[in-house]
Amino acid sequence: MKRFLCFLAFVFAGCGSALAQVPNDPLSWLGRISSAAHKLNYTGTFTYQSGKHVETSRITHLVDANGEYEKLEALDGSPREVVRNNDEVQCFLPEQRLLIVDQFGARRSFPARLPPSPNALAENYRIRKGEVSRIAGMESQQIILEPRDEMRFGHHFWADVASGLLLRARLVGEKGDSIEQFVFTEVQIGAPFDKEKVRSRFTRSSDWKVVNARGNDVRVEDIGWIFRNSIPGFRQVVSVARQARKERGEAYHVVFSDGLAAISVFIEPESGKGVAQSGLSASGSFNIFRRTVSDHRITVLGEVPAQALVRIADGVEMRKR
């Protein structure tokens, strides 16, 4: 333990100063967790589990005066990488010779699961400290967020006591069941800056297809659709238009978030190839609700209870002209 504390003292410029920054109240802990994910250099391996599905990934996150750089590598199944340079995201799928270019979205990835300013979360979640335990060989403080209504799930976070970096995150259902979980199995905090470590190992040649998935920002007021139903605490954070297919016109993607949970609404012209299935379904940790409105397919999905999706979907209407 003495050697471990001395190591922390070297990495974080003094064991005493690191421990002095440890907050007592849970809301301050959330701010510390949020900051650590974006301001620290770290590299490690983590697992993701939802039901019986388990994936292992490796993440490298580096910071300098120009911003954040990150590489996420899938270690199971087909090779794939996600490389981020500040807000630009590139997804490399070498088996399909495909590169998807997108922008950093509203759904937060591990370990950056919290918004930059988490204080507003107290309006929709009861926040308290839990137990101290060891994860990936580090002392971690548990922070528990219990939803104040039935429109969102709960969250359990475990953060490294010394640095504040999130080591484990669990999404909790209405009955206390685990919906999904991220957890580091090993992590190095304070990794030296080496930009080569956040470059893709795949070389894109001329036969690769490049898909721009970023879309064009639009105002909801201008797209011809109305969202009559709202959910307390959720606000619009994304509204973009994309070309669905050449013959089908534009599709819209609108995202509402409370800072943790995100609800995506996709509005697309019907394909004309039969009647698409409506109603509720699920895919992994996501609930999905579909309905048809004015020859358009409305798809609403998110890691939220089904009633939240139904409420949003039932309020989507085409504006009367």
Residue 24, pLDDT above cutoff 50 = yes
Q: How confident is the model at residue 12 (pLDDT cuts 50, 70, 90)?
A: very low
Domain boundaries, the chain: 2-198, 215-318
pLDDT at position 268 is 93
Are 307 and 150 within 8 A, CB to CB? yes
For residues 83-93, give the mean pLDDT.
94
Q: What is the pTM of this model?
A: 0.88
SS3 260: coil
At 139-163, the pLDDT tens digits run 999 999 999 999 999 999 999 999 9
pLDDT at position 287 is 96
At 262-276, the pLDDT tens digits run 999 999 998 766 556
Residue at token pair 């509005």: 267
pLDDT at position 249 is 75
What is the rounded CA–CA span in Å between residue 47 and residue 164? Answer: 19
Superfamily covering domain 215-318: MucB/RseB, C-terminal domain (3.30.200.100)
- Picking from 258, 266, 213, the residue whose alpha carbon sits closest to that of residue 239 is 266
pLDDT at position 106 is 55
The domain 2-198: what is its CATH number? 2.50.20.10
What is the rounded CA–CA span in Å between residue 307 and residue 87? Answer: 32
